[in-house]
Amino acid sequence: MKKKWEFYDTDEELVQKLSQQLKMSNILTSILVNRNITSPEKIRIFLNPTRNDFYDPFLLNDMEIAVERILKAIEQKEKVMIYGDYDADGITSITVLKKFLEERGLIVDYYIPNRLEEGYGLNKNAIEKIAKQKYSLMITVDCGISAIEEIKLANNLGIETIITDHHETVEILPEAMAVVDPKRKDNTYPFRDLAGVGVVYKLIQALSIRLGLEEKEFLKYLDIVCIGTISDIVPLVDENRVIAKLGLKLIERTKNKGLKRLIEACNYSSIDANMISFGVAPRINACGRMGFQEEAIRLFLSDDEAEVATITQKLNEYNKERQDTEKKIFEEAISKIQKEKMQENNCIILGGENWHHGVIGIVSSKITDMYFKPSILICFEGDMGKGSGRSIPGFDLHHALMETGDYLEKFGGHSMAVGLSVKKEKFEEFKKKFEELAKESNIQEIIPVIYIDEEITMKEMTLELMQELKQLEPFGEKNKEPLFMLRNVKIDSIRSLSEGKHIKLTLKEGISLIECIGFNLGFLAEDYRIGDKVDVVGNLAENHYQNQTKVQIVLQDIRKSYKNG
């Protein structure tokens, strides 16, 4: 697929000024300016955040009410129920809040709905069970903001509720005692993109302040908070970056036995955002996806070495099962798309009988990446279908579901990712209406854009530059790895790897050579030849081989150079 290359509109005068003032290279300064980090103080916080860079938690709406209600529970030794989600954000949220409240002397239990049987969020059967167990206070984590009817039921059954969530709100808030969510319409908090566990962290920070505790009583949970934050793919900027940067340092010496064992099982060479995103998070999420959500929370709450070893092994097995299931559904979906030529549509919507709805969101994401079109996958069981969807920049998936809501039983999410349920009898009507909406949005005209930070030469691609770029880690949403362009270089060698899946090139500029690897770009090997002059865009990475470390390019795109010849 053809991609559009664009450079950031960088303020070169500001770059020069900041570079001299802060004694940083022009390249690093330029990247920071491209990310709208444009003052010495913002740069300081971004590169070297400290515990003093957290915002006042009481700036969050209803935080004062939430804290007062929990203090009352501590004083009266009430039983507290934490109601959480089954993904990594929800699991880490429960872990942090449960441990903190138990240290304050409370009796705390948790409820995680089974993804396959109950689905996401609060449900009435669960509320009734909690009421029968005589819980007087329920705190939701990473869910609850849309549970209007469920909270009404809780109120009628004598359960007072504090909602902590980070999802988009509807016009009417649930009638809970307190609703702590930075995405409230009347939000007064400086940063709205906290993960669910980030909101929980602000709650325990506020409680610690009110109880006069030492800072370490809430800071010590930053390892778990960091895991949930990075796993939930929230923007790694502002306060999330403070959490991630400080949390990664704490993970290196974590005292949580379950987390320590899980990291060892991932077998990554370094502890960074990649290790969490591609090692830790999939293993935690696999529990919920496969219907074994209790295992992940037990892992983080256990202090028994033998137990954490056993649970970690189970997590590995669930993850392998998830991978196998996902591969099978993906292959079926691609076959169906190609057979029915769905790639020619404005969006890709397809359903399958008895697909595992715990993994269809991942498959949808892969399909959207592959075709650069919004996709929705529905798994039908009997007369009802449950689905997940992923979108592309420029098309609001959640808004489109609101427009087609008459055909749906239930839906939720945000602009880029949604969950929904639809009756089988209404599926084709929904599909038709959604395609019409997508067509009206001119999706065919949306071209993927690659935003390039800097054009550089091979001579500038040094190990010293790599050390400087490491200051920008951890990378994630809204803080992507910097992209560099190398212009008018000659292909010195080219070959495909892994049966044509990947491509490897050696590029030459004058007497300088650099290796370039393109993952999942093996199809390009047929389009280029040795001697071709090309422009390439990619990330820079260190390649460690035979006790040598060299800089290499991780290719994102390539084109014939206009100066060819």
What pLDDT, in 10s, does the model give residues 250-275?
Answer: 999 999 999 999 999 999 888 999 99
Residue 281 located in a structural domain: yes
Residue 325 and residue 319: Cα distance in Å, rounded? 10
Q: Are the C-beta atoms of residues 390 and 375 closer than 8 Å to each other?
A: yes
**Where is the domain boundary, 445, 460, 484?**
445
What is the Cβ-side half-sphere exposure of residue 514, based on CA atoms within 13 angstroms?
27
Residue 381 maps to which CATH number? 3.10.310.30
Q: What are the start-end ranges of the E strands in 182-334?
A: none
- Which whole-number Å values give the CA distances from 346 to 342, 376, 413, 556, in the listed order? 9, 12, 21, 25
Q: Where are the alpha helices (DSSP H) in 147-215?
A: 148-156, 196-211
pLDDT tens-digit profile of 141-153?
999 998 999 999 9
| Tokens coding 74 | 């501590």
**Whether residue 441 is found in the same domain as residue 457:** no
Which residues partner with 454 through β-bridges?
484
What share of the chain in percent tops pLDDT 70? 99
Q: For residue 423, what pLDDT is reported?
A: 95
**What integer is the mean pLDDT of 222-231?**
97
Residue 186 located in a structural domain: yes
Residue 33 located in a structural domain: no
Phi, psi of 7, rounded to the nearest 5 degrees: -90, 150
Q: Where are the alpha helices (DSSP H) in 61-175?
A: 63-76, 88-103, 124-132, 148-156
Q: For residue 546, what pLDDT is reported?
A: 81
**Dihedral of CA 228/369/476/62: which sign?**
negative
Helix (H) or strand (E) holding 295: helix 293-301
**What integer is the mean pLDDT of 488-494?**
96
**Whether residue 247 is found in the same domain as residue 346:** no
Residue 527 located in a structural domain: yes
**Where is the domain boundary, 445, 480, 502?**
445
pLDDT tens-digit profile of 327-380?
999 999 999 999 999 999 999 999 998 898 788 989 999 999 989 999 999 999
Provide the pLDDT confidence category of residue 170 given band limits of 50, 70 and 90. confident
| Intra-chain end-to-end CA distance of the chain, in Å | 25
Residue 210 maps to which CATH number? 3.90.1640.30
Cis peptide before 57 (omega within 30 of 0): no
**Whether residue 374 is found in the same domain as residue 263:** no
Residue 48 located in a structural domain: no
Give 446 or 368, the one with higher predicted confidence.
Answer: 368
Q: Which of 417, 374, 385, 422 is nearest to 398 (CA)?
A: 417
Residue 398 and residue 415: Cα distance in Å, rounded? 5
Q: Are the C-beta atoms of residues 417 and 366 closer than 8 Å to each other?
A: no
**At 549, is the secondary structure helix, strand, or coil?**
strand
Q: For residue 196, what pLDDT is reported?
A: 97
Q: Are the C-beta atoms of residues 85 and 112 closer than 8 Å to each other?
A: yes
Residue 189 and residue 183: Cα distance in Å, rounded? 9
Which residues partner with 507 through β-bridges?
491, 514
Task: Indicate the pTM of the whole model.
Answer: 0.89
pLDDT > 70? residue 563: no
DSSP symbols for 153-174: HHHHTT-EEEEE--SPP-SSPP
Residue 381 and residue 408: Cα distance in Å, rounded? 16
Residue 351 and residue 191: Cα distance in Å, rounded? 38
Residue 254 and residue 103: Cα distance in Å, rounded? 18
**Whether residue 251 is found in the same domain as residue 197:** yes
**Whether residue 414 is found in the same domain as residue 548:** no
Q: For residue 565, what pLDDT is reported?
A: 42
The total number of structural domains in the chain stands at 3
Q: Are the C-beta atoms of residues 83 and 126 closer than 8 Å to each other?
A: yes
Give 559 or 117, the one with higher predicted confidence.
Answer: 559
| Lowest pLDDT segment from 24-33, 36-45, 301-310, 438-447 | 438-447
Geometric angle at alpha carbon 164, from 215 and 362, rounded to 5°: 110
Q: For residue 564, what pLDDT is reported?
A: 47
**What integer is the mean pLDDT of 459-463?**
94
**Whether residue 257 is found in the same domain as residue 361:** no
**Whether residue 115 is found in the same domain as residue 256:** yes
Query: What average pLDDT is seen over the chain?
Result: 93
| Tokens coding 554 | 């991780």
Residue 316 and residue 299: Cα distance in Å, rounded? 12
Position 251: which residue type?
A: I
**Whether residue 262 is found in the same domain as residue 276:** yes
Q: For residue 118, what pLDDT is reported?
A: 79
| Tokens coding 126 | 């669960």
- Which whole-number Å values give the CA distances from 317 to 89, 282, 313, 447, 509, in the listed order? 21, 12, 6, 39, 47
Q: What are the start-end ranges of the E strands in 320-445?
A: 348-353, 375-381, 384-390, 410-413, 417-423
Residue 519 located in a structural domain: yes
**Whether residue 432 is found in the same domain as residue 459:** no
**Whether residue 132 is found in the same domain as residue 147:** yes
What's CA 71's distance to the chain center, in Å?
A: 32
Parallel, antiparallel or unpaired: strands 178-180 and 417-423? unpaired
Domain that holds residue 107: 53-314
Residue 330 located in a structural domain: no
pLDDT > 50? residue 456: yes
Edge-to-edge strands, sheet with 79-83: 107-111, 79-83, 137-141, 160-164, 178-180
**Whether residue 253 is found in the same domain as residue 360:** no
Phi, psi of 356, rounded to the nearest 5 degrees: -80, 110
Residue 521 and residue 531: Cα distance in Å, rounded? 19
**Whether residue 132 is found in the same domain as residue 180:** yes
What's CA 62's distance to the chain center, in Å?
A: 26
Q: For residue 432, what pLDDT is reported?
A: 95
**What integer is the mean pLDDT of 36-44?**
94
Residue 65 located in a structural domain: yes
**What integer is the mean pLDDT of 112-137?**
90
